[in-house]
Amino acid sequence: MISGSQCRAAPALVEVTRAKLSLRSGVFEDAIRDFERKVDNPNDRGIEALQAALEELGAVFIPENGGGIGVRLKFTAAEARQIERLEGEGGIVANDRVP
């Protein structure tokens, strides 16, 4: 399940207002606001509805993976093709770190 912080960040990424998110998810705007501000949590069903609505709009939620939770946008089809093309180019395998 997503956190309040993820719920606050995702609408900005997918460019949706709290009012529109409320309509799409069926969760009251006040409940979304309180969840984003960590004042109160909706019930599990409400959080799942928020997550589903945001995922439909293009958000991808990143679970705790040792580096913290997060949210990002889905790749577009063009971006996915570009990544696939670049991954198939070959070349020298090296450390990705920039000194």
pLDDT one-digit tens code per residue, 13-32: 999 999 999 999 999 999 99
Domain interval for residue 28: 4-74
In a domain, 65, yes or no: yes
> Is 33 within the bounds of a domain?
yes
Domain membership of residue 23 (yes or no) is yes
86 domain-assigned: no
What confidence score (pLDDT) does residue 91 get? 62
Matching residue, tokens 């998810």: 25
- At 44-94, the pLDDT tens digits run 999 999 999 999 999 999 988 777 899 988 877 777 777 777 776 666 655
Q: How confident is the model at residue 37 (pLDDT cuts 50, 70, 90)?
A: very high
Count how many domains the chain has.
Answer: 1
The structure's pTM equals 0.75
Residue the block writes with tokens 């063009």: 78
How far apart CA 53 and CA 29 sit, in angstroms, is 14
User: In this structure, is residue 82 part of a structural domain?
Assistant: no
Q: Looking at residue 23, which CATH number applies to its domain?
A: 1.10.260.40
In sign, the C-alpha dihedral spanning 68, 4, 52, 58 is: negative
